[in-house]
């Protein structure tokens, strides 16, 4: 009987601007052997990002494109595109990346970029989504793992994590509760992608 040939592990690139807690969450699950992915690179726009140290602790090299060093921001986006094309990842994971990706990048990696956003999309897009939800007075908030399209937080939804806003909960407590859910659903979304289990039709994502 012929032996089954395992599928090659997906090459992953991470985009991050900050402390890197979602990066850490995904890398820890990869380390446990639960995601068939190879974390090839971290690309960051912030030379002081905590995500650089997290990547290093998991033997993931970092490429720094310092946003502040670019007088012409168009050049930053061109360098980012060139960097990603050189690495040629199967999947790009935006985890706390604070720049809007240009259409050229999204088209080059269509349906191969996953983002984590701290709201139940399509509600509360953009920055400070947790504060938006808290100030609006919703009873349930949460987070969304989604594919990136050319809009702002408007791509097909893969998974969502829900947080009930309890009486007396502070904005800080809500933010931490949402972050805890992010650490659950982002690794799961990456896992499903690497296992070829995500199928998009009419902007709806099915998990096979």
Determine whether the annotation assigns residue 101 to a binding site. yes
Distance CA 90, CA 25 (A): 19
Determine whether the annotation assigns residue 107 to a binding site. no
DSSP state letters, 128-189: -HHHHHHHHT-SEEEEEEEE--SSSS-SPEEEEEEEE--TT--HHHHHHHHHHHHHHHHHHH
Determine whether the annotation assigns residue 71 to a binding site. no
Report the DSSP pairing between strands 37-44 and 198-201. Answer: unpaired
Determine whether the annotation assigns residue 99 to a binding site. yes
Catalytic residue chosen out of the listed positions 58, 77, 117, 146: 117
Determine whether the annotation assigns residue 73 to a binding site. yes
Determine whether the annotation assigns residue 100 to a binding site. yes
Helix axes 171-194 and 129-136, enclosed angle (nearest 10): 130
Determine whether the annotation assigns residue 208 to a binding site. no
Question: Dmax over Cα atoms in the chain, in whole Å?
Answer: 62
Q: Is 58 a catalytic residue?
A: no
Q: What residues are annotated to the active site?
A: 117
List residues forming the annotated binding site for (6R)-10-formyltetrahydrofolate: 73, 98-101, 115
Binding site residue list? 20-22, 73, 98-101, 115
């Amino acid at each position: 009987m012929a032996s089954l040939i395992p599928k090659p592990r997906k090459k992953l690139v991470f985009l991050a601007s900050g402390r890197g807690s979602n990066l850490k969450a995904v890398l820890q699950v990869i380390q446990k052997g639960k995601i068939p992915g190879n974390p090839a690179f971290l690309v960051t726009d912030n030379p002081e990002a905590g995500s650089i140290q997290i990547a290093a602790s998991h033997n993931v090299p970092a490429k720094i494109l310092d946003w502040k060093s670019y007088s012409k921001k168009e050049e930053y986006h061109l360098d980012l595109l060139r960097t990603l094309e050189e690495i040629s990842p199967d999947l790009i994971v935006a985890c706390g990346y604070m720049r809007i990706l240009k259409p050229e990048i999204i088209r080059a990696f269509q349906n191969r970029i996953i983002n984590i956003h701290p709201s139940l999309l399509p509600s509360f897009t953009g920055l400070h989504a947790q504060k938006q939800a808290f100030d609006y007075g919703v009873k349930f908030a949460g987070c969304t793992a989604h594919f990136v399209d050319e809009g702002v937080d408007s791509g097909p939804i893969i998974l969502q994590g829900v947080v009930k806003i309890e009486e007396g909960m502070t904005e800080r407590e809500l933010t931490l509760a949402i972050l805890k859910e992010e650490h659950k659903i982002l690794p799961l979304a990456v896992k499903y992608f690497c296992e070829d289990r995500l199928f998009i039709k009419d902007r709806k994502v099915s998990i096979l």
